Structure 1
Amino acid sequence: MQAIVMTETGAPEVLVPRAVDAPRPGDGQVLVRAEAIPVLYPETKVRAGEFPVPVALPAVFGFQAAGTVTELGAGVDPALLGTRVVAATSGVGAYAELVVAEADSVTVIPDGLRTDLAAATQMPGSVALALVATAALAPGETVLVEAAATGVGSALTQLCAARGVRVIATAGGAEKARLAREHGAAEVVDHTAPAWADQLRDLLAGGTVDVVFDSIGGDSVTPLLDLITPRTGRVLSYGWLAGVPTQLTAVDLILRGLTLTGCAGPAWLGEVARRRADALDAAARGQLTVGIDSVLPLTGAADAHRKLEERSALGTVLLRP
């Protein structure tokens, strides 16, 4: 079968198309014929060596794939055979025509939801649902969604707006700002502009932000500290677009009575996994829309990674075996 093998850590060119042996499901596993493979931003960090690589290299790369279950291992519910699912792996095996996954890691795609949309929605939708639940939003609050034109950012913007909170979004450039507004942002500031915190201060007109959803990391929140509601304000840090986690200190938080929640690690990933079916259900009901930027052939995996790293994608990039 055709697959994308990661030969070593490094630039996108380490993702190489190769013919490999077809996998077979073991006990408690399923075999999925992939139809749509989402390219996820964290995958670019794994490929670059910034996040740990889960197996020895070379290995077939990839964390998720959507398609149809074609074979079952021992002990798997027979009802899964022939079902459309989104399968999650431990970080290997998804960039391929055939994907083996643990049966308890697959999410059945609801009737009426296209496979492509399910593939595009599951990761950003499940992360956004977990973030909104963790933030414990109250009607009338004001939230700041960083990088609101990304997959998670756009899902967050939609979910927050639906809960009756005022959403101020950040986005880089006019086109991404337009997308953020379409998804429910009341106002948008350009986080690529110098001193963009001053834009936020002007929009708040003396008010404050109750929740910051921080996907950029680094020092992105530091200029905002005095614009966050004292005593009850909270920062949820879940992304490292700047390359490092948010650089807030305990003193930054204590002096203002703010809370910082780190949305990472095994417990957080477990919470996200529990939201997978909810994300697909929300998409099937039209409550959550994740755009698809482009669909590339499986052999275009390296090009897909470049698009994400250049931040030129306006939606999810899918690979088609």
Structure 2
Amino acid sequence: MRHLELHMLQSVPVACLNRDDLGSPKTAFFGGAQRARVSSQCWKRAVREYARELCPQGFAGERTKLVVEPLRRELQALGLNADQAGDGAKALAEALGKWDADGEKKGKLQIKTLFFTSPNELRALARAYVAAGEARDAAKKALKSLKSEDLRDAADISLFGRMVADDHSLTLEGAAMFSHALSTHRVDTEMDFYSAVDDKQPEDESGAGMMGTLEFQSATYYRFVALNLDLLADADHLGSLSAQQRQEVVRVFVEACLKALPSARQNSMNAATLPGYVLAVARDKGHPVQLINAFEAPVTSRSGLLEASIKALDAEYETLKKVWGLEAVAEYRLPEMDFQALLTGVAGHVR
């Protein structure tokens, strides 16, 4: 498997990047110690949104239950009247997922499950439905006609994949692989007590108008992302694009991976940082290998955790190369080189 690996170390100050069902920062035990954790799904969403900001025409995918109205508009644009378009949109939606009958009673025309799609794909579905005429199975025929060309505006679907329980033919394996981000060291969740003053409170009265507590963490995270270049270029993904277009997709994706940060509590606990160290590796065979075991023994240091984490990461990588014979076509490091040079380097491995 031809692939790229991104190994990132990123120090984040007071933050709650990813919360559990009780509002507490997520954690995990690794190496016998509690670590700060940010789920892969959380950081993937941040990357997807950042990539869309960088390249809206190529990353136009959206996860939504609300596919009926855009499908209705597309069908009307193809000449169907309002009633025909409404019926056709509902039929297509029902083919994509389970219809939300309870929602319909409340005036919500939607399916029960999120469907990851794009404007071009919905447009293609509408065209295929109209081409099928009045056939009873027109919606199913339309779904079967979808091809990779319909994802030309949705590199995010090819990268992140989608699962469609009601029609496995629409399920697509993502070319990108994300691990959960873990702190390289032991982390204890801390409490922040806050209070707010009522601006209209009389001067002779004291006390807060509101008070409470919030949990937070600060940590140096090890983050890992890999990209299957062979899968990205196959016919079901972005095979319809030129090599140059796929290179641009990868440039955008890698930039988003390095710069995106989950947005939770960014107004009250702004923790916007960039990775302090990046090792990007290109390989022509094998499968992606994490370097997380560099931190199986939690890092400790009185002079900063980032530098100690970098040393541990580099030592683990050299050990794996020596013991297991890991072969790399190329390696790129920040801050030894600048950001644009790294992007150009990794994109050069895309065929």
TM-score (norm 1): 0.23
> Hey, which of these two has a bigger chunk of strand by percent?
1
Greater RCO (CA < 8 Å, at least 6 residues apart): 2
Larger radius of gyration: 2
TM-score (norm 2): 0.22
